[in-house]
């Protein structure tokens, strides 16, 4: 239901503004994303009745720039969170990251006037590793790309071509130390314990493990169809005997989600167990490194490991593989 908000402009929903008016005897009807844009469209077409095409374009540009002066980076992030974030694989993580970004000084600045120096100051306020800062800067850069390409706002990206992105940082090489796996097994119980076992046995990402459904697991062939992977492509992975036993411990069903616990429960159980055994620097994602490395140490070749882990390239797989000297020595002495 369209509701009139002012002369010639009607609203339906949060981001739907309709301009209906007559221009030189012709009916004009256009829907835009914001009241400011609707005003620009209406006012510029009013002016166009008395001006030539070039003068109208100049006037429209000026009015549009005026209309976004009240828009802050925080406002733009709110719209981005509503329209863009939900369609991403890592929506939950990005939502949390946007929440943090909105607490920084950058969020209070006018969206049209942000400079590279402002973004550099933002990096310092975010803190953490260079890799962490890079993720936040990439978010801001993409925010401006969306604003320019999709929202058609007259702004300039303060990141692209204006500054160097922080370094990705040194790739993690952390694997489970001697005895840590067994200590984790003692510290964990229930589904979190089986979740960790499957992570180590399959080198699957946490999101992929969560996406497991009983109807997609072939008990006879020991395979699992993953329909929600990072790259958006489905793949079938192979489950070891130990992984199958872990699923047995959860309790087989004909269909439905494998896990009754959520991400928050897994995170809390993992962090508690990790801290209990004194492995404070161990990240859950390190288990993917551990799993990939173990597959090679079992004697599988590159193509066999790739079929299980889902890495698209050898260079990516190499980042996740950290063989121990003892395992290499054992093969040399066979």
Domains of the chain: total: 3
Q: pTM of the predicted model, to two decimals?
A: 0.59
**Are residue 304 and residue 196 in the same domain, yes or no?**
yes
Give CA–CA dist 136/169, Å, rounded: 14
Same domain, 188 and 320: yes
Divide the 334 residues of the chain into consecutive groups of 10 and give the mean pLDDT of each group: 85 82 75 81 66 50 60 92 86 90 94 93 89 91 94 90 75 86 95 95 91 93 84 82 95 93 92 94 91 87 82 71 63 60
pLDDT value at residue 37: 80
User: Catalytic annotation on 230?
Assistant: yes
Q: Are strands 235-238 and 9-11 parallel, antiparallel or unpaired?
A: unpaired
> What is the C-alpha separation between 247 and 194, in angstroms, rounded?
7
Percent of the chain that is helix, strand, coil (3-state, to 5): 55, 10, 35
Which pLDDT score, from 0 to 100, does residue 217 have? 95
* pLDDT value, residue 54: 53
Handedness of CA 49, 55, 59, 64 (dihedral sign): positive
Q: Please choose, from the candidates 217, 178, 176, the residue with its C-alpha nearest in 3D space to the C-alpha of residue 197.
A: 176
Cα angle 162, 163, 169 (rounded to 5 degrees) comes to: 155
Q: Is 65 in the active site?
A: no
DSSP, residue by residue, 165-194: PPP--PPP---PPTTHHHHHHHH--HHHHH
pLDDT score, position 18: 87
Residue at which a domain ends, from 52, 67, 82: 67
Res 240: pLDDT: 92
Residues 130 and 253 both lie in one domain: no
Residue 321 has a pLDDT of: 66
The catalytically annotated residue of 230, 298, 312, 318 is 230
Catalytic residue among 30, 285, 319, 322: 285
The SS3 call for residue 74 is helix
Active site residue 80: no
Residues 12 and 86 in one domain: no
158 domain residue, yes or no: no
Q: Tell which residue, 231, 228, 194, has the closest CA to residue 213.
A: 228
Identify whether 88 is a catalytic site residue. no
| pLDDT at residue 232 in the model | 67
At 179, list the tokens: 């005895």
Task: Please confirm, yes or no, whether 241 is among the known catalytic residues.
Answer: no
123, 133 contact by CB (below 8 A): yes
Q: Both ends of the chain: CA-CA distance in Å? A: 77
Q: What is the CATH number of the domain that holds 234?
A: 1.10.443.10
Which residues have CB under 8 Å from 141's CB, separation 6+? 157, 159, 160
Cross-sheet strand order for the sheet of 9-11: 3-6, 9-11, 17-23, 26-32
Which ranges in 188-234 belong to alpha helices (H)? 190-202, 206-210
Catalytic residue (choose from 18, 112, 274, 311) = 311
Same domain for 263 and 185, yes or no, is yes
Instruction: Give the residue numbers spanning the domain of 85.
Output: 73-149
C-alpha of 261 from chain center? 22
Sheet holding 217-218, edge to edge: 217-218, 223-226, 235-238
Q: Is 288 a catalytic residue?
A: yes
Strands 17-23 and 223-226: unpaired
> Which of 37, 67, 97 represents a domain boundary (last residue)?
67
DSSP state of 318: H
| Residues 188 and 53 both lie in one domain | no
55 with 108, same domain?
A: no
Q: Are the C-beta atoms of 137 and 155 separated by less than 8 Å?
A: no
The pLDDT value recorded for residue 16 is 82
Encoded tokens for 130: 């260079």
What pLDDT, on the 0 to 100 scale, is given for residue 64?
56
Judge if 320 and 197 occupy the same domain. Answer: yes
DSSP for 265-302, please give it.
HHHHHHHHHHHHTT-TT--TTHHHHHHHHHHHHTT--H
Active-site entry in 205, 274, 289, 294: 205
* CATH number of the domain encompassing residue 125: 1.10.150
């Amino acid at each position: 239901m369209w509701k009139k908000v002012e002369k010639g402009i009607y609203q339906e929903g949060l981001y739907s503004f309709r301009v209906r008016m007559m221009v030189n005897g012709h009916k004009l009807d256009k829907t835009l994303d914001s009241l400011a844009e609707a005003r620009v469209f209406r006012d510029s077409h009013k002016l166009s009745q008395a001006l030539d095409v070039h003068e109208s374009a100049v006037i429209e540009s000026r009015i549009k720039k005026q209309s976004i002066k009240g828009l802050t980076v925080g406002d733009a992030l709110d719209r981005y969170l509503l329209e863009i974030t939900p369609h991403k694989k890592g929506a939950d993580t990005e939502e949390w990251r946007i929440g943090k970004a909105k607490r920084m000084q950058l969020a209070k600045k006018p969206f049209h006037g942000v400079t590279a120096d402002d973004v550099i100051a933002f990096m310092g306020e975010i803190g953490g590793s260079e890799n962490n800062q890079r993720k936040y800067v990439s978010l801001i850069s993409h925010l401006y790309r969306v604003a320019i390409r999709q929202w058609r706002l007259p702004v300039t990206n303060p990141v692209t071509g204006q500054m160097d992105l922080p370094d990705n940082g040194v790739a993690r090489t952390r694997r489970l130390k001697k005895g840590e796996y067994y200590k984790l097994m003692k510290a964990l119980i229930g589904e979190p314990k089986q979740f960790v076992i499957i992570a180590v046995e399959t080198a699957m990402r946490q999101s992929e493990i969560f996406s497991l459904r009983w109807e997609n697991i072939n008990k006879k062939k020991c395979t699992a169809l993953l329909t929600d992977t990072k790259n958006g492509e489905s793949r079938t992975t192979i489950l070891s005997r130990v992984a199958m036993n872990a699923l047995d411990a959860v309790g087989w069903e004909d269909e439905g989600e494998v896990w009754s616990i959520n991400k928050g429960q897994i995170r809390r159980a993992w962090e508690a167990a990790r801290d209990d055994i004194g492995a404070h620097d161990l990240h859950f994602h390190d288990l993917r490194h551990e799993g990939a490395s173990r597959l090679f140490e079992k004697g599988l070749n590159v193509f066999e490991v790739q079929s299980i882990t889902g890495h698209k390239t050898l260079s990516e797989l190499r980042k996740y593989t950290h063989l121990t000297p003892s395992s290499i020595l054992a093969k040399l002495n066979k």
